Every structure is written in structure tokens, then in C-alpha cells.
Structure 1
Amino acid sequence: ADNYLLVHNLLQQGMDCMRINCAHDDAAAWARMIGHLRQAEQSLGRSCRIVMDLAGPKLRTGPLEPGPAVVRIRPSRDTYGRVTAPARVWLTAEESPQPPPSPAGASLPVPSTWLARLRTGEWVECTDARDAQRAFRIVDVTEQGCWVESTRTAYLVPGTPLRHARGAGTLDEQACRISTLPPGENSLTLHQGDLLVLTRDLQPGRPASRDRAGNILTPAMIGCTLPEVFDDVRAGEPIWFDDGKIGGVIEKVESSQVFIRITQDHVKALTLRADKGINLPESHLRLAAMTAKDIEDLSFVARHADIVELSFANSAEDVESLQQHLTNLGSRQPAIVLKVETRRGFENLPAMLLTAMRAPCCGVMIDRGDLA
């Protein structure tokens, strides 16, 4: 939204239609994007249409329990594993933590009295979470904090002791411990044949629990942002997560849970995180294509877009609803593109097309990824 040069370069390279995804940002950000485009058009003497994609119903995975508070610090390496840049870590006073003034691999809160003793050229040493010995060279000390660098990977957790070394063999007797660290992002690790439980509520999900032999004791669980789909899904129907990266089949449907068997064959383990898309291409979901947010966004879209994309178009009624809302907003009528993302939408495409063709201009986009 704030990168004019990007828009300018895209237009210069031949872009003739700029797409804005209304699932992200807001009207203020969209206005800035359009402002950049208009400025670039004047600068280059070219024109470009604007297509705005209505978000549609957001069927996504729910939150997960927080992951462990572990910070991995690692240097940059090239293809051969050689260090090209050390890891930079910001040490800040735990009593009044200050954000790092430039990008940092991690920010570690430590006692201010201990921090005040550090000097450029000295060292901070520790034993990390894997019992590996690590040393960080102090490269800069400021009033706000201290920069240290390392060329080796380290895993740090709250309570890790840090020792101040003024030089070789001269450890400070008084060590400190890393204060609190934010929890890491959690994820579910899934393999072909695993059972995944999709829950109706948005209680934080959790990974599967396993015994020492690796056998699953309780399956992984994760919530769903649109619980009303539980009334429409059936056993035997396919389900996809994260833009088709993870596939499964619904084995059983209960009032508050859907049991899914992961069927996708993959060499590596599959990772599912919070806020990832869920697609049910063969389920007949009774969801309107436009949400309350889409209707609110239409007031902006109708004024600025040359083309409006109707996500999850499933029926002629969905198309009629969009047309009616556009009519209510005024005489300017952008072209309509129907985004077909479910089997139901594909089966109803003739009726949707006949309805859409009442407008001067319409089109269709088949989302093959979601229909796979």
C-alpha cells in the first residue's frame, strides 16, 4: 500500500490490470494503492484497469495453543552452508525494554544492571537449550541497548544464563538469566493416514499427543471460523487446507466435530497452521457468497473498480445479490467476474452466467486449485 515504486515498475513492465484483494487491508490502504497507480499512469503515459476481489466467506482454520518460548538465532548462510552474515541479537533492559533500532534475529530482555556492564569488543557466553556452548561478540553499546553477533546457531529459552566475558578466560562472576520470551507460533504436523479433528468452536487447537514409540494417543485438533458448515458436510467428501497443500477425506461428522483422514501422500511431514484456508469443493454449503463485510466494502469498490470479482459464487441468487447492491449504490456499474471455487458453483455456472449477462460485461474465473 505504501510502495509507489513497486506499482510504477509493474506498470512500466506492462501491467494493464491491478488486482486488489479485499480480504486484506482496508479502504484507506486500497485508496493509497489506487493513488500510486494513478500517479504512475500520469508519469508513464499509460492506463491500467483496477479489479477488486471481494473476500467472500472466510472459511479458515482457528487459533492454536501457543508454541514453546524458544528463540532460534542463526546466521545467514549461502548454498554451501558458509556464513555470509552473522546473527544479530538485541539485548535490552527487562525493566523498560526498547525495540531494536534495526532488524534483529532476536530481542532478549536482561537486567539493566547487568546490561550496563557490557562494553564493545567483549563477549556474552551461554549454554543454549541443546547444551551447546555459544559465544556472542558485543559489537555496539547504546543507551537503549546492546548489539551482539554470532556466527553459530543457538536456541535460547527463558531462564538461559548469560555470562559476561571481558576477554579470554575472564568470565564475570555474576551471570544473568534471559527474562520472559514470547511464545512461538505453533503448528500441527500431519502425515498421510493421520486423523485430524476439526472443531466447531474456536478454542485453541493443539498438536497430536504421541507415546514414546510415536503412536498417536489423541489426534490433532483445530477449530473452524465458520461453524455453520458443519451442518452441510458429509462423510466421504474431500477437504483441503492451505490452498490445496494438505488434503483429506471426511470420515465422520458429529455435532461439534468433523473427523478427517489425511490422504495426501507427501515425502515430508505436512504442516498446518492457524488462519489457513479450508476448502470443501464437493460439499453443498449453504453460504451466501457475500458477507456483511463484502457489502460494506462494495461502496468503495463500486466507486473505484473497473471489475469486481465475486468470490465463492455458487448460485444465481449470489449473482443477483451483487447486481442489486451495485444498482443501489449508483449508476456506475463495474464488470463482474464470477469466481468458481466449488463443485456446486461449477454445476450452477450456466444459471449464474445467464444472470450475470444481464450486465453489460461479465466474465468467469475457474479456480482449478480449489476445485482439485
Structure 2
Amino acid sequence: MARLRRDVASEGRAIYRHWQPSLERTAFAAGALNLAHYLALRRRDLRPLQRDLMRHGLSSLGRLEGRVLATLDAVGGTLETLAGRAPAEGLGWPPAPRRFFRGEAGLRRNATELFGPPPEAREGRILVTLPSEAADEPALMRDLVRRGMDLVRINCAHDDAGLWSRMAANARAAGAAEGRQIRVLMDIAGPKIRTGAVRLPSDERRLQPGDTLVLRPGPPLQEGPGQGFEAECVPAAILDRMAPGTAVAINDGKITAQVEALLPGGAALLRILRTKPGGAPLRPEKGLNLPGTDLGLDPLTPKDLKDLDTVVSLADMVGYSFVQDAADVARLQAELAHRRPADWRRIGIVAKIETLRAVRNLPDILVQAAGRQPFGVMIARGDLAVEIGFARLAEIQEEMLWLCEAAHVPVIWATQVLETLVKSGLPTRGEMTDAAMAARAECVMLNKGPHVGEAVEALDGLLRRMAGHQSKKTPHLRALQSWKSVGGAAVPQA
């Protein structure tokens, strides 16, 4: 333990020194240093040590994300005492409560700075994506606020500046009427990689495994019937990033394929690997993903730059799609500084982590963003699942939660939360469990739908109940009331 503590402190300090030029915001210094220590610690396989510590009734180090050195000091000091020796001078054993729980306080403070204060009796906030009608129906906003909504999301891929302005005004007015502050997150669209015009075989059948599909830089060639499946790739520059063996997913992963060959004229021949039973339709305006491929796209499109002119005057937070690395964050920060030079650091950034490259670069993204302004991470589970594979999604979203907790950075749990309830009015069993797991994030996002008010109310109750059971990875052992008798005998109640 002494050696582990020494090495983690030394390696963490080296990582932190590398980051220091990016740390213009002193409030993030403690989070950055703890993140550096966490990265140093997690380079090691600690499982044998964990089991040894458990046998002695000590912490197994499994919940130290927010307080790495403080936990190592507490365990090390206890071991010294058990061995009959005084804890090392300066160790601070046991750690003072303020030092030991400083990470929790920092995360709570950062979440409040970004999302606003939580409602009474729950820590997790509820974020709702607004439909277009929210611009002209103030009653809809009031209803959502009364049911428990804390923040709104405006998707700048839809509608226009006039509607966004009315949505934001209605949200803030509804909050004021209920004595609450409703923050506004505006999501800039980012590059859209999709199919353009498509061409089907003469029998208009569906794509099946084994079929071929030609992706072209322009509209499909019109050469008469029976020519097979073809689709335009938008933007065409994506085709330059393809090579034989490149993986391609279409329509949120409903169709998976692999590049078999590059064709004259910049086209690519794909072999279909998987669809649902019965095949899948090929349609225009469906998303294209190239998992593991660096697409070389600017995350800020000309539309995004134009939209930012409006966003900086309306939003408390900017949602950043398709962010890949720290340089992308710096690019957005420069644009914010250009539009609001006096106070651009007051605008929060929410980075949507939706690719494997973004996951791998997450530590540097955290430092570049939170080192300058309020910052949060959105786990965008839709595109992320397509990019890394559905089998790894649960594992990666856990690792992202751990990393952000180590940096004291708040997280938004997003994509299809209570989706069936939002759309149909009745949840599935699985999505209620998923929503309960979402309570470990500082904010949970619901998509728009006809029953979103009911979903807000259900999520509000669920988050309040889960707050009594768990905080992040730590269970709260409050008294359970589900079993009041055992073997017919009453159990004494506290």
C-alpha cells in the first residue's frame, strides 16, 4: 500500500504537470489532480490487493473515484495501526472529513454551477428535449416544470432562431412562475453523415446479409432496372476515409457492412454483414457510422457557426456534438470567445461523447473544457452503441461515469431513457431498471414525445427513491421496510 500510494502520487503529479497549461480555472485544479491520480491508479490491476484488504475488513478501493489519495491514505494509516506502528508523519490519518469528502463536495458544486440547484430530496436533475410546439404553448412548459423538469434541451438541428428564442423564454418564465430556475441547453447539430438519394433493385427488395451496396459521392447512377443497391454518401469526403475492411453501420446500426473494394470515381463497394431477420430497407437521410475511423470532419459546420450567433445570447450551456479531442473543444471555446469576449467562460459546455475516439481522448477533453469554464459530459448512448458495439456499451458507460467522477465533472445520462413511456404512456420493465441506474448521473435526459409529462413525473419519483439507496457507486444502507416479519415473527423496527 505504501508503494502504491507513493507511485500513484508521483505518476499523477507528472500527468497533472502536463495538463497545467490548460488549467486557467482554479476551481478545477483539485478535480484535475484527482483525475491524474485516478488514471495513474487504474493503470494497475488491483484485484489481488483488493481481496487482501477485504479479508482485513478494510476498504477494497472500489469507490475511491472522487478521492484517490485520501482513500489510499486512510487505508494505509489503518494498516500501519494494525501493524502496531504509528501512521507515517504527515499522512493525516484518519483523513479529516473535509479532505476525505472534498471530491463529493466539488462534484456537487460543479453540477450546481452547470445545471442549477437540484430540487429538494433529489440530487439528479431531469432534462427534457423540447418539441417545436413548446415555442407557442407556455402551458406545456408550466406542466413539465410542475411535474419535475429542471432543464430544457433545444436541438438546433430542428426549427429556427425565432422558435428557439420563444422556447427559451417560455422555459424561464415557467420556472419563475414556480419559483425555480430552469437552465437552457442548446445542442448545435454538428456534421451529419448520412445517406442521400438511394437506388433500389427493380424488385425493390430489402437489404439482406450477403448483398452488396455501392456508396457514391453523388446521386446513384441511373442505368435502368436491376442494377442493385446504391446510395449517395453525404458528405462525399467520407468516402476518402474508407479502405477495404472499413466497418460501416447504417441507420443506427440496423444494417452493418464492410468495405469490400474501392471503385472508380470515388465510390465504395460494401458487403452487407448483418440486418434484422427479413432484411432492412435502404432509405435516404439515414445515419452512416464508420466505427473506429477518423473521419477528419470539422465538428463545427457552417450552420453551427451561424447558429452560435443565436445560441450565445440564449443558452446557459452549449451541447457539442461530434467532439473528438481536446483540439475540438478549443475550437468551440475560440468561437465562444469571439462572440462573447467579456464573459464567454460563463457559458457551460456539454460534450456529447459518441465515438470511440472521443472515449479514448476523454481525459484531455475534460481538462481542456473544465479547465476554462463550467463543463459536463453527455453519454450519448445512441451513436456510442453503434460506434463501439452494443456488447461494450454498458462497460464503456460505466468507465465514463468513473472518469468523470474522478474529475468532479457532472454527467448527463442520455438516449432512450423511458422511451416507451414517453411514446406510448407505458414503460417496459427493462427501461425502468435503466432509469434507476441513471440515478448515478447528475442529470438524466428524456426525449420529446406525447407522454413526456408522465415520464418526467415517473422519473422524478424514481430518482427521489433511488437517492435514499445509492449515491454514485456507494450504497446507502437505510432501513428497509419491505420485510417486516421473518418466519412469522415481527422484526423490531428502528
Shorter-chain TM-score: what band? 0.5 to 0.7
Task: Tell me the alpha carbon deviations over residues 141-192 of structure 1, each in whole angstroms, 9 at most, x when there is no partner.
Answer: xxxxxxxxxxxxxxxxxxxxxxxxxxxxxxxxxxxxxxxxxxxxx9872112
**What are structure 2's unaligned runs of at least 5 residues?**
1-131, 390-494
Between the aligned partners of 2:370 and 2:242, the Cα distance in structure 1 is 31
Deviation (angstroms), 1:220: 0.4
Structure 2 residue 314 is the aligned partner of structure 1 residue 304: yes
Structure 2 counterpart of 1:104? none
Structure 2 counterpart of 1:246? 255
Structure 2 counterpart of 1:229? 238
Check 1:251–1:198 CA distance in 2 against 1; reply closer, same or farther (3 A cut): same
Q: Which moved more, 1:229-238 or 1:358-367?
A: 358-367
Structure 1 counterpart of 2:148? 14
Q: Tell me which of 159, 181, 188 is aligned to 1:47.
A: 181
Deviation (angstroms), 1:207: 12
Structure 2 residue 328 is the aligned partner of structure 1 residue 318: yes
Structure 2 counterpart of 1:158? none
Between the aligned partners of 2:302 and 2:328, the Cα distance in structure 1 is 13
Task: Tell me the alpha carbon deviations over residues 81-113 of structure 1, each in whole angstroms, 9 at most, x when there is no partner.
Answer: xxxxxxxxxxxxxxxxxxxxxxxxxxxxxxxxx
Structure 2 residue 349 is the aligned partner of structure 1 residue 336: yes
Between the aligned partners of 1:198 and 1:338, the Cα distance in structure 2 is 30
Structure 1 contact 188–272 (Cα < 8 Å) conserved: no
Structure 1 counterpart of 2:299? 289
Deviation (angstroms), 1:274: 0.9
Structure 1 counterpart of 2:424? none
Structure 2 residue 171 is the aligned partner of structure 1 residue 32: no
Check 1:283–1:353 CA distance in 2 against 1; reply closer, same or farther (3 A cut): same
1:239 aligned partner, one-letter code: V
Between the aligned partners of 2:148 and 2:367, the Cα distance in structure 1 is 33
Q: Tell me which of 166, 190, 196 is aligned to 2:207.
A: 190
Alignment of 1:1-372 (within 5 A): 1-3=132-134, 4=137, 5-64=139-198, 189-201=206-218, 203=219, 218-254=227-263, 255-330=265-340, 331-332=343-344, 333-367=346-380, 368-371=384-387, 372=389
Check 1:309–1:195 CA distance in 2 against 1; reply closer, same or farther (3 A cut): same
Task: Tell me the alpha carbon deviations over residues 259-313 of structure 1, each in whole angstroms, 9 at most, x when there is no partner.
Answer: 1122124213212211111111211111111111111111211121122111111
Deviation (angstroms), 1:320: 0.6
Between the aligned partners of 2:223 and 2:331, the Cα distance in structure 1 is 41
2:250 aligned partner, one-letter code: F
Structure 2 counterpart of 1:132? none
Larger radius of gyration: 1
Report how many aligned residue pairs link the two structures.
Answer: 247
2:231 aligned partner, one-letter code: I
Deviation (angstroms), 1:222: 0.7
Between the aligned partners of 2:310 and 2:363, the Cα distance in structure 1 is 29
1:261 aligned partner, one-letter code: R
Structure 2 contact 214–267 (Cα < 8 Å) conserved: yes
Deviation (angstroms), 1:198: 0.8
- The answer to which structure has the higher strand fraction is 1
Check 1:208–1:56 CA distance in 2 against 1; reply closer, same or farther (3 A cut): farther
Between the aligned partners of 1:49 and 1:280, the Cα distance in structure 2 is 34
Deviation (angstroms), 1:204: 5.1
SS at match of 2:248: strand
Task: Tell me the alpha carbon deviations over residues 108-155 of structure 1, each in whole angstroms, 9 at most, x when there is no partner.
Answer: xxxxxxxxxxxxxxxxxxxxxxxxxxxxxxxxxxxxxxxxxxxxxxxx
After TM superposition, the score normalised by the length of structure 1 is 0.61
Deviation (angstroms), 1:42: 3.4
1:225 aligned partner, one-letter code: V
Structure 2 contact 317–350 (Cα < 8 Å) conserved: yes
After TM superposition, the score normalised by the length of structure 2 is 0.46
Between the aligned partners of 1:291 and 1:317, the Cα distance in structure 2 is 15
Cα RMSD of the aligned pairs, angstroms, is 2.8
Structure 2 contact 255–275 (Cα < 8 Å) conserved: no
Between the aligned partners of 2:273 and 2:305, the Cα distance in structure 1 is 37
Structure 2 contact 201–229 (Cα < 8 Å) conserved: no
Structure 1 contact 250–258 (Cα < 8 Å) conserved: yes
Check 1:249–1:7 CA distance in 2 against 1; reply closer, same or farther (3 A cut): farther
Between the aligned partners of 1:272 and 1:265, the Cα distance in structure 2 is 11
Check 1:15–1:288 CA distance in 2 against 1; reply closer, same or farther (3 A cut): same
Structure 2 contact 193–288 (Cα < 8 Å) conserved: yes
Deviation (angstroms), 1:10: 2.1
Structure 1 contact 247–262 (Cα < 8 Å) conserved: yes
2:209 aligned partner, one-letter code: Q
Structure 1 contact 62–205 (Cα < 8 Å) conserved: no
Deviation (angstroms), 1:56: 0.6
Structure 1 counterpart of 2:396? none
SS at match of 2:351: strand
SS at match of 2:153: strand
**What are structure 1's unaligned runs of at least 5 residues?**
69-185, 210-216
SS at match of 2:234: coil
Deviation (angstroms), 1:11: 2.0
Between the aligned partners of 1:18 and 1:286, the Cα distance in structure 2 is 31
